[in-house]
Each structure stands twice: as structure tokens, then as C-alpha cells.
Amino acid sequence: MSEPGGAAVPRIPAEERARLLANPGFGKVFTDHMVTSSWTSGVGWDAAQLSAYGPLSLDPSTTVLHYGQAIFEGLKAFHQAGGGIATFRPGANARRFGRSAARMAMPQLPEETFVAAVEMLVRADQDWVPSGAERSLYVRPFMISTEAFLGVRPASRYQFLVIASPAGAYFPNGVAPVSVYISEDYVRAAPGGTGEAKAAGNYAASLLAQQQAADEGCDQVVWIDAVERSYVEEMGGMNLFFVRGSGSGAELVTPQLTGTLLAGVTRDSLITLARDAGYRVTERRFSVDEWRAGAEDGSLCETFACGTAAVITPVGQVKAKTGDFTIADGAAGPITMRLREELLDIQHGRVPDTRGWVHRIV
């Protein structure tokens, strides 16, 4: 890794940075630096470089612009209650990046290079980590194919980059419950497809269904399986949990990872936290019929979505061609909010990290 001297000069003056950090929103503002590394067939990766954040120059024939070999990750850096800055489980993101790369016929980036690049950027741009509740630095590692070529085959050149963006709440209404529309017209992922890869194209293919959900008056789209068109898979780009029963006897159900779902780091962390809190957690198929019946007879008390960007978002209303329903009274449930607080407490260093999840950088 190398850090050229010029890269230390901030792109944005301190007063302007303070103004931007006061109300960062999500994904709109970018820090002073970025990290880049290039891969060439037969040569491998060059040393990652820290440089000033700025535009890329790409030949118009660059393969990513035509055939979409592009994958990404998302993780956050947080101010720690006792001082310093840490990220959360970056190794888990590095491993998933490797799985996404394999599925998209892209080269493997060593996990330690991924983590070191995240560390390099967070350290250089530590003044960009916002403080306060719901505030973090969202770090976006990604890889694109960069060969200038129009033939359809895996490219011979790639670029790995890491950029970062100070972030507030992902959804404009914070943790207010969202309404969802079950998409029966569109499919996110089919067996054998790219559903479990964090591939850019999956997100492009989701946009029309998300637009349809908005046209139906809903905040988010919910995807059901491609084959039987019965089982719930994900909400937008987030995993889902369903809470059956209440109190200490409650059971949490989350759709099993079949290859068509993204294996969320937040999903995995919440399974552990919920089990450690004494709840039964089951990974299995969960149908729209079971969701509706549970909501209607009161046995299903809560539903929430989870992901790095929004952490945990309660689901209040469900709209479907086969009939609408409401989860409990449509408000955020107690288990949803408890798990959310527990996860945020760990991420912000407000409680001891007993699982080796917190990765200290500064």
C-alpha cells in the first residue's frame, strides 16, 4: 500500500466538511480520498494507492459499461464510545466480495488487501466519520472490469476501489415502519442466477419493481421466489425477519440462503444476537400465505428488514395483489427495536465486543 504525499491535502475545507457532516443524508457526499488497485491478467494486483477522490477516466469501450462486470460491498465505520474509530466485521465483507467475484468471473482480491484498503481510507479520512446516533461513515469497496474490448468474455483488467460517504439514516423517516409491495410481476433472482452475489446488475434489475412499489404507494418492494412464486426472499436490497409469538418465547424466522438471496452480514449478526438473547431462530422457507395468516390471526407479531445501510427497518403494512395486511398495529415491535439497539451498541462501542466483530482502525 502506498500513500503519495499529495493525497494528504484535503479536497474539501474543514468548515465545508463540518457543514456537510451536520446533515449527511445517505450516499450524497464523499470524502477527500479513495483507494485504488488494478489487476492485470498474468500480473495480478498492483499495490493499493491512496489518492484524492475524483473522477475515473474510462475508454468508452470499457467492458463494465457494456457487460456489467461490477460488484460492491458496503460497511460502516463508527466513532467508538471510548474514543477511536472502528468498522464492523470487515472480514465478512471481504469474504462475500470474494464469492461475488467468483460468480461474476472476476479475480479474487486477498481478504487482507480488502481490509487493509478499508483501513487505509478510514484512517486518511477519519475527520469525515460523523458523530451521533444513526451516524457513520459508509464505506463502499467495489470492483469493475476495465479492459477496453467489446468481445463477450471475462475481462483481462480490473480495478478495485474504495470510496466513503458520511451517512445519516438510510430511509428519510429513520426507523419509522415501511410499507412494502409484494412484486408478482418481476423476479429478483432465480436458481443458478446471480442473486447471492452483490453484483451491480442485481440492483439495476430491481429498479423497475421498486418503482412499481412506489406507484402502489409503498416504500419498498418485497421479492418472492422465482419458481413457486410463494416464498418471501428479500425486501429491496435487505434481508427479512419474521417474529412469531412475543416475549421470551418468540421465534424469529428468516428466509434460508438458497443461492438466490444475499447472505447479509447484518442478517448473520442478528441471528447470533437473537440466539444469544434466548430467542429461537429458524432459517427456512417462509411463504406469503404464512406471513398473511400470521398477521391476520395475531401469531406473527413483528416483521423487520435488515442491512448495513439501514441497520434494521420495521415493516408495518404489506400490499399484494392477493390482499393487503398489517403487521400487528403497524408500529415497530419490541424485539425489532431491542435487536436494533443491541447491534448499534456493539457497533458504536457502547458495550463490550464479546464476539470479535469490532475492528479498530484508529
* 68-97 binders of ligand COI (CB under 6 A): 74
The minimum distance between CB 74 and ligand COI, in angstroms, equals 4
Helix H or strand E segment including 26 = none
- The count of other CB atoms within 10 Å of the CB of residue 246 is 15
**Measured distance CA(35)–CA(142) in Å, rounded:** 10
CA dihedral 130, 164, 55, 100 (to 10 degrees): -160
Q: Which is nearer to ligand COI, 70 or 309 (CB)?
A: 309
* Binders in 303-342 for ligand COI, by CB under 6 A: 307-310
Q: Smallest distance, Å, CB 308 to ligand COI?
A: 3
Q: Closest distance between ligand COI and the C-beta of residue 141, in Å?
A: 12
Q: Where are the alpha helices (DSSP H) in the chain?
A: 14-22, 63-67, 90-103, 111-124, 200-215, 265-276, 288-297, 334-347
Query: Which of 21, 64, 121, 238: binder of ligand COI (CB under 6 A)?
Result: 238
- Residue 237 near ligand COI by CB under 6 A: yes
| Residues 265 and 205: beta-carbon distance below 8 Å | no
Q: Which residues pair with 283 in a beta bridge?
A: 254
CA separation for the pair 130, 126 (Å, rounded): 9
At its nearest, how many Å lie between ligand COI and the CB of residue 277?
22
In order, the DSSP letters of 201-217 are HHHHHHHHHHHHHHHTT
Query: Of residues 160-199, which lie at the interface with ligand COI (CB under 6 A)?
Result: none
Q: Which is nearer to ligand COI, 200 or 295 (CB)?
A: 200
Hey, which residues between 16 and 75 contact ligand COI (CB under 6 A)? 74
Residue nearest to ligand COI (CB): 307
Q: Cβ closer to ligand COI: 26 or 149?
A: 26
Nearer to ligand COI, 303 or 308 (CB): 308
Binding segment toward ligand COI, per CB under 6 A, in 115-123, 267-275, 302-310, 347-355: 302-310
- CA 167 to CA 189: how far, in whole Å? 29
List of residues contacting ligand COI (CB under 6 A) = 74, 237-238, 307-310
